[in-house]
Amino acid sequence: MGCLGLDFRKLNMVFYNLSRKVKRMSKFCKVCAKFIILVFLPSKILSMLWLASFLRSGNTFFRNALYEVYGLPSSAYHRDPNRVLDPDYATYPIVKTHLLPEQLPEAYRHWPAVYLLRDGRDALVSVAHHRKDITAPGSNFYLNLLQAIVAPGGSHFGGWSRNVDAWTARGALVIRFSDLVRQPLVELERLRALIELPPARPDKLPTFQQLKFGQPKYQATAAVVHGNQKHFRKGRVGGWKEEMPPELQALFWFLHGDTMRAHGFTAGELAEVHTAAMRESIWTEIQRHLEHIGPSLTPAEQAAALDILVAVRQRLQQHNTTRTNLDHLPYERYLRRLKAGLRSALPHAIYQNLAKLYRQLPLRRWLGKLRRLIVVRKSLR
């Protein structure tokens, strides 16, 4: 029961059923119906929020869990010309999107937001599999993964780190994929800070297996054709360790390392990817691998491989521009001097223990977030 003694679950369903019927009314009746709904229903019930995430970060599971546990329906906002946009998306309490905040309709950008954050390596590996299995069946996994990491031309919703930076800088409530998998009800309940939620029905929480082999309320468009077994692939944490080749791990850390560190994703971190020798090694290995798989690629994939090679070369030549731009920050200079001094003065074993402790303390994450916030604000000027 919510405010005024109302059953929010039933009232929500009544409201959204009314909203869906409004479009079938005459223009005059439509205006009157919307006026009545907005004036007489409690404002908390009408709270709406964006459910934002990068691709393959758990939003389909999240939407189905919200529907089953709280009875909350949701819609989606996109700019894909090949898909139909629900004209009534703004009447739902939850609206899913992968777009960057500045790409949303201006009238609704002020909505509060929750952002689902997944380790970029796991998300990108899943994106590559999704393309190979569903959106472009039979396409090459390695090439798909390489394209997802580089996100040439702002594809893949800006790329993993840009997408994460834009939404977290906006102040979205962040829910980590690993926490969502481990304790879904706890993470779902965090939405109470943003919108009114009816009492939960924990027994209705869907399992991953139920979504994969059942008929969930919300499915990806391609999953309707190819089946949920392929859409809900594994849903686990750390799968990148078996599926992301070393040279692509290095390229990933070169392009997305600052964002990874800012959000505490330091397991498997590659710290020396900005050296000239490492950059050249990354380029050589990627070029060698693409030459090896070249004969098995379709003509379209071969053309894409050439384009992505050019993009990789350009990105690698942009030698650590983010860090260079931040050299004027006093704490950056002091930390680097302190690090160099400790490394030269202390025995290797002691230095390594101190470095491990530093990585575990929150100070590093705070500095990382400050660094990324400065970069994002500069890019928006």
Question: What confidence score (pLDDT) does residue 259 get?
Answer: 94
pLDDT-derived band of residue 233, with 50, 70 and 90 as boundaries? low
DSSP code at position 132: I
79-102 confidence digits (pLDDT tens): 999 999 999 999 999 999 999 999
Distance separating alpha carbons of residues 281 and 355, to the nearest angstrom:
26
How much is the pLDDT for 55? 97
348 band by pLDDT with thresholds 50, 70 and 90: low
Q: Say whether 72 sits in a helix, a strand or coil.
A: coil
- pLDDT for 218 equals 78
Minimum mean pLDDT range among 88-97, 123-132, 364-373: 364-373
More confident residue, 352 or 273: 273
Residue 318: the pLDDT is 79
pLDDT score of 160 more than 80: yes
**Mean pLDDT over residues 2-16, rounded?**
49
Lowest average pLDDT, out of 60-69, 243-252, 261-270, 333-342, goes to 333-342
Q: Look at residue 272 in the predicted model and tell me its pLDDT.
A: 79
| Sequence-separated (6 or more) residues with CB below 8 Å from residue 170 | 101, 113
Please give the Cα distance from 131 to 231 (Å, whole number).
Answer: 10
- Between 21 and 216, the higher pLDDT residue: 216
Position 282 pLDDT exceeds 70: yes
User: Looking at residues 265-291, what average pLDDT do you find?
Assistant: 91
DSSP class of residue 137 equals T
User: What is the C-alpha to C-alpha distance for residues 318 and 295, in angstroms, rounded to an integer?
Assistant: 30
Give me the pLDDT at residue 43, please: 44
Residue 304 one-letter amino acid: A
Cβ neighbour number for residue 181 with a 10 Å cutoff? 16
Residue 38: which H helix or E strand, with range?
A: helix 27-40
pLDDT of 205 higher than 90: yes
Can you name the CATH fold of 48-139+153-231?
A: Rossmann fold (3.40.50)
pLDDT of residue 271: 78
Phi, psi of 75 (to 5 degrees): -130, -170
194 touches 173 (CB < 8 A): yes
Sheet holding 74-76, edge to edge: 74-76, 94-97, 49-53, 113-117, 173-176
Q: For residue 21, is pLDDT > 90?
A: no
What are 92's two structure tokens? 């739902």
Q: Would you say residue 19 has pLDDT above 70?
A: no
- Beta-bridge partner residues of 52: 97, 115
- At 355, the pLDDT band (50, 70, 90 cuts) reads confident
Give the SS3 label for residue 1. Answer: coil
Q: What is the pLDDT of residue 337?
A: 61
79: which DSSP letter? Answer: -
Spatial separation of the C-alpha atoms in residues 189 and 313, rounded to whole Å: 45
With b for 16 or more beta-carbon neighbours within 10 A and e for fewer, the 146-163 pattern comes to bbbbbbbeeebbbbbbbb
More confident residue, 213 or 179: 179
Indicate the range of 147-151, 180-184, 340-344 predicted with least confidence: 340-344
CB 372 within 8 A of CB 169: yes
Q: What local confidence, expressed as pLDDT, does residue 373 receive?
A: 64
Q: Can you give the pTM of this predicted structure? A: 0.73
pLDDT of 105 reads 96
Q: Which helix (H) or strand (E) holds 13?
A: helix 8-22
Q: What is the mean pLDDT of the chain?
A: 81
Q: How far is CA 312 from the centre of its chain?
A: 22
Torsion of CA 189, 191, 197, 202, to 10 degrees: -30
Reduced to 3 states (helix: H, G, I; strand: E, B; else coil), residue 272 is: coil
Task: Provide DSSP, 301-358.
Answer: HHHHHHHHHHHHHHHHHSTTHHHHHTTTSHHHHHHHHHHHHHHHHS-HHHHHHHHHHH
Count of alpha carbons within 13 angstroms of residue 270, beta-carbon side: 18
